[in-house]
A and B are shown apart, each in its own frame.
Chain A
Amino acid sequence: MIALKLLPQLVSLAGIVLVLGRAFAGHRLVVAVCCSVGYLAGVGGGWALVRSFPGNLAFEMIRGVVGASFLLVWCIAAVALYRSTGRGAAQPWGERLAASRLCAAGNALWASVIAGALCASGNAGAGLSSAALISFALAAVIAVCAAAAGEKLLPRSFTVSPAGMTVTVSALLLFSSSSSLRLDLFSPLTMKVMKFTHDFVHQFFESMLIPDHVFFTHTTWSYIGFLFSNGVGFWGALIIWLAPAFLVIAAHSLERLPPVAHIRQGAQRRKLVAAAVRSRRLRLVTPMIAVAICGGAVYQSRFPTVEYWDPKPLAVSANQTGEIVIPAKGEVDLEDGKLHKFLYKQGGREARFFILQTPSGALTVDLDACAICKPDGYGQAEGTVICYYCKTLIPLETVGKPGGCNPVPVPFVVKADGVHIDGLNLINTWGSTVQSTERVKGGGK
């Protein structure tokens, strides 16, 4: 099972070596050595980081590095497009630097260290033994060697541009990170995009003095309403996610053909132009592969293979004073650190909630819904609960605190006989939360 979990990481590493090996064809050995060393260092560093920092901090740090790399790739792709559409001359010093041994080593180390850290932190909960770790290190070195050997088998005409190399390596890292819930970047990105779009549209309407929704037709407002829906978060994030690869594709497609007007033999001119067109097409292959890999990362993020702890809600009822009393050690043990779901029905209305003991030892009672998304509920994974609707991970330490996609807290009292919750308050809180999220968000799964 662990070997299966590690397989995508090794495939990513092999892909990185393959692409770097072709991009720095003159420095294959440097790339292979740096990738092996960097990967092992990354695994060691990531492992130490997760052991040293409690909670989500280590994961946040590693995710931050991947995010920063993605931002850098965005810049590189934008510069590539800018240069391909510009009238200015190429900068030979930049190209010389890009083809140097130093650059090859730097890129290989950068990519492999991150890949190693992602692998170590993504499998931090697997409890690998020393023997397994050594086996894994050996497997990584074998993967690097195999990829380096495989690269030589690729056709010579298959070239990788510096920009194409960067987006493909970045795509492989994103793919690697999206295989772990706590390292995934796509889900948080969708939430950020949704928030930005909401704020931007609101500001735009205010700035441009656009009237309130009561004056619009239903059809117009439903179009505008899309900008406030969860769909805009997904599609906006997808655009941002795939944009670097598409920018590089555009950059290669818009590259000007070499000047051939000085050649007086028509056949030679056509030959040169045809060669340039063929080379341009071949350089499009890697960014196109990057698009596919990024698509795979999105799929992993949307449909993770992780199994969540998601117990069936137990039906509870209120006593004569309208209080729901749940014993701490009754049908379920509320203090076992697991999420326990309950269902309360009253006069045709119902509310789903859960009780959980947080890592600090305190109990928390929350609705099985948040104030933003549709009430699809939460599941528990290692160190976090996840909102099934938007896939946002909420660290266990923050469950019980209101705001964002956190579960909506419900007032309760812990007495000797168990947890006491006001039934009417619970029903009303659920009603107002679910009504508002369904009204505002509209769409849904």
Chain B
Amino acid sequence: MSRLLRIVYRIMESRALTPIVIGIFLLLYIGIAFFTEESLIVLIGLVKSNVILAAFFSLIPLNRLLRLVDEVKRYLAARRALRGEGIVTVSGLFDETVEVKANSDLAGVESRLVASGYATRLGEQSLAAWRGITLFPARALAIAASVCLFSGILLSLGGRTSTRGAVVEGAPLPVAEGSGGMVERIALEHAPGPIMAKSLSIAVASDSGSGPVRTFGLYPPGSYHGAFVYPRYLGIGLSYVLFAPDRPEPYESNAILNIYPPGKEDRKEVPQSPYSLMFSLERPDDGSDPYMTGRMTISCKLLKGDSVLASGSAPRGGEISGNGYRIVFQDIRRAVLTDFISDRGVIPIWAAGMMFMLAIVVWLPVRCLAPRRELLFVAENGVVRACSRAEGQRRKHAGVFHDALDAIETIHMKYVLK
């Protein structure tokens, strides 16, 4: 049983596992592409709905985690070995290991290594030499980032829920359960910057009304009642009343219109009637943004089939009339069509992005300028076991290693001849 577990563990921690799993998903994607144009959407849907596929995908974060453990074990083992604490037990720790017949006098070699720019530690039976900065932190950070990334994707695939609602000034925040705090203000402003041109802020009073006001921006989105507040599109909340000669009762409606930026049209049907209304936001003559200034004038056309019964534009409180029809705009407010997203995978993915960037920032200069190079000589029973490892500048380091071995043998020969 323990043998079986060992085999399973070896497979799980294999460097090949992640590329194989990704390769199989790639093949699956290619296979799906033969049948549909929406291959990626279908593949995501399959992984979401199929436990076996999800479990198969989960091998990636598990494998990356075990790789991280292995990386840490190797690093600690290498440190122990360089400190002269015990023999090297982890296989493949060094790039090259060789045994030469020699006595235990390693002091002569130490001076050569110091002259080559290596720091040294001479023990009773061992000599360690090293140079440069280890890439272990960058490597560990990159692996940890991959753990976060794939865990995040898995969590996101498994448990993402999304509810769309319209956030309207002066109305409670629409949350999945119950009602949220009152939306006090929605502000769209110019934000001259290299990436974002506009900023959006949604100020929401606390649920109880006595707590502090919370403000939600664009990015990174804030969370409310455990869900991210993800503004999607800007809209206009319009409260209007339609008076028609053939309708005894006026028709009153509170509509969320998708009419931003100015000029964009949105059509609303009047239920159980042949009428429909076409709305758009007027572009002010001064070129200002009506959503920003709050001075919003709405153009409206009342249609019956293809014929226009009345048309015109009016601000808040104004009205449009013609042919006995009247449309009164009782209120116009800013609105934001917002997704409330519950997703535990987002934060690990963000963290992964930052960790990857940090890893590259550390890795690149260290790898180019001062990669870690290590040498270890352990004398035992008339034999010196020499180990070498380099994270960069391998050829130069190998030259130093070979010179050191030559020196060890020369010293030994002198000792023998004496």
> Does the CB pair B30–A71 fall under 8 Å?
yes
Across-interface contacts of A303 in B (CB, < 8 A): none
Across-interface contacts of B156 in A (CB, < 8 A): 207
Across-interface contacts of A203 in B (CB, < 8 A): 40-41, 44
| Any A CB within 8 A of the CB of B196 | yes
Contact mask B332-365 → A, CB, 8 Å, 1/0?
A: 0000000001010110011000000000000000
| Any A CB within 8 A of the CB of B80 | no
With the chains together, A261 CA to B399 CA distance in Å? 9
Q: Considering the complex, which residues of chain B in the window 135-184 have a beta carbon less than 8 Å from any beta carbon of chain A?
A: 156, 160
Of A210, A219, A261, which contacts B402 at CB under 8 A? A261
Across-interface contacts of B197 in A (CB, < 8 A): 215-218
> Does the CB pair A199–B98 fall under 8 Å?
no
Across-interface contacts of A218 in B (CB, < 8 A): 197
> Does the CB pair B341–A209 fall under 8 Å?
yes
| Any B CB within 8 A of the CB of A4 | no
Q: Measured between C-beta atoms, what is the minimum distance from A85 to chain B in Å?
A: 9
| Any A CB within 8 A of the CB of B232 | yes
With the chains together, A209 CA to B395 CA distance in Å? 47
Of B19, B194, B219, which contacts A217 at CB under 8 A? B194
| Any A CB within 8 A of the CB of B112 | no
> Does the CB pair B33–A264 fall under 8 Å?
no
Across-interface contacts of B402 in A (CB, < 8 A): 260-261, 266, 269
| Any A CB within 8 A of the CB of B108 | no
> Does the CB pair A82–B405 fall under 8 Å?
no
Q: Closest A-chain residue to B403, C-beta based?
A: A266
- Asked if A207 meets B37 with Cβ closer than 8 Å, knowing A220-B195, A260-B402, the reply is no
Q: Closest A-chain residue to B44, C-beta based?
A: A203
> Does the CB pair A200–B232 fall under 8 Å?
no
> Does the CB pair B346–A209 fall under 8 Å?
yes
With the chains together, A199 CA to B41 CA distance in Å? 8
| Any A CB within 8 A of the CB of B304 | no
> Does the CB pair B346–A207 fall under 8 Å?
yes
Q: Measured between C-beta atoms, what is the minimum distance from B18 to chain A in Å?
A: 11
> Does the CB pair A209–B221 fall under 8 Å?
yes
Across-interface contacts of A219 in B (CB, < 8 A): 194
Q: Considering the complex, which residues of chain B in the window 12-58 have a beta carbon less than 8 Å from any beta carbon of chain A?
A: 15-16, 19, 23, 27, 29-30, 33, 37-41, 44
> Does the CB pair B16–A82 fall under 8 Å?
yes
Q: Considering the complex, which residues of chain A in the window 7-54 have a beta carbon less than 8 Å from any beta carbon of chain B?
A: none
With the chains together, A212 CA to B235 CA distance in Å? 13
Q: Closest B-chain residue to A195, C-beta based?
A: B37
> Does the CB pair A261–B346 fall under 8 Å?
no
| Any B CB within 8 A of the CB of A88 | yes
Q: Considering the complex, which residues of chain A in the window 192-226 have a beta carbon less than 8 Å from any beta carbon of chain B?
A: 192, 195-196, 199-200, 203, 207-212, 214-220
Q: Measured between C-beta atoms, what is the minimum distance from A406 to chain B in Å?
A: 12
> Does the CB pair B15–A264 fall under 8 Å?
no
Q: Measured between C-beta atoms, what is the minimum distance from A218 to chain B in Å?
A: 7
Of A86, A217, A260, A262, which contacts B195 at CB under 8 A? A217
Across-interface contacts of A200 in B (CB, < 8 A): 40
> Does the CB pair A215–B200 fall under 8 Å?
yes
| Any B CB within 8 A of the CB of A75 | yes
> Does the CB pair B40–A220 fall under 8 Å?
no
> Does the CB pair A199–B40 fall under 8 Å?
yes
With the chains together, A78 CA to B18 CA distance in Å? 13
> Does the CB pair B98–A215 fall under 8 Å?
no
> Does the CB pair A216–B95 fall under 8 Å?
no
Across-interface contacts of A220 in B (CB, < 8 A): 194-196
- Asked if A208 meets B349 with Cβ closer than 8 Å, knowing A196-B40, A215-B200, the reply is yes
With the chains together, A256 CA to B95 CA distance in Å? 9
> Does the CB pair B98–A261 fall under 8 Å?
yes
- Asked if A264 meets B198 with Cβ closer than 8 Å, knowing A192-B33, A208-B349, the reply is no
Of A71, A217, A266, A404, which contacts B406 at CB under 8 A? A266
With the chains together, A215 CA to B261 CA distance in Å? 11
> Does the CB pair B234–A261 fall under 8 Å?
no
Which of B16, B193, B345 is the most central at the interface, judged by chain A CB atoms within 10 Å of its CB?
B16
| Any B CB within 8 A of the CB of A156 | no
- Asked if A217 meets B193 with Cβ closer than 8 Å, knowing A199-B41, A209-B230, the reply is yes
Of B30, B95, B196, B228, which contacts A215 at CB under 8 A? B196
Across-interface contacts of A208 in B (CB, < 8 A): 346, 349-350
> Does the CB pair A264–B218 fall under 8 Å?
no
Q: Measured between C-beta atoms, what is the minimum distance from B396 to chain A in Å?
A: 12
Which of B15, B234, B402 is the most central at the interface, judged by chain A CB atoms within 10 Å of its CB?
B402
| Any B CB within 8 A of the CB of A348 | no
With the chains together, A211 CA to B394 CA distance in Å? 47
Across-interface contacts of A264 in B (CB, < 8 A): 405-406, 409
Q: Closest A-chain residue to B229, C-beta based?
A: A209
Which residues from chain A sit less than 8 Å from chain B, CB to CB? 71, 75, 78, 82, 86-88, 192, 195-196, 199-200, 203, 207-212, 214-220, 256-257, 259-262, 264, 266, 269, 404
Which residues from chain B sit less than 8 Å from chain A, CB to CB? 15-16, 19, 23, 27, 29-30, 33, 37-41, 44, 92, 95-96, 98, 100, 156, 160, 193-200, 218-221, 228, 230-234, 260-261, 341, 343, 345-346, 349-350, 386, 388, 394-395, 398, 401-402, 405-406, 409
Please name the 7 residue pairs, one residue from A and one from B, whose CB atoms are nearest each other, closest first. Answer: A87-B92, A199-B40, A261-B98, A217-B197, A209-B230, A211-B218, A215-B198
10 new A-B pairs (CB below 8 Å) besides A212-B232, A214-B261, A220-B194?
A: A88-B92, A192-B33, A195-B37, A199-B39, A200-B40, A209-B230, A215-B198, A259-B98, A260-B398, A260-B402
Q: Can you sample 19 A-B contacts with CB below 8 Å?
A: A86-B15, A87-B92, A196-B40, A203-B44, A207-B160, A208-B350, A209-B219, A209-B221, A209-B341, A212-B231, A214-B234, A215-B196, A215-B200, A216-B195, A257-B398, A259-B96, A260-B402, A261-B402, A269-B402
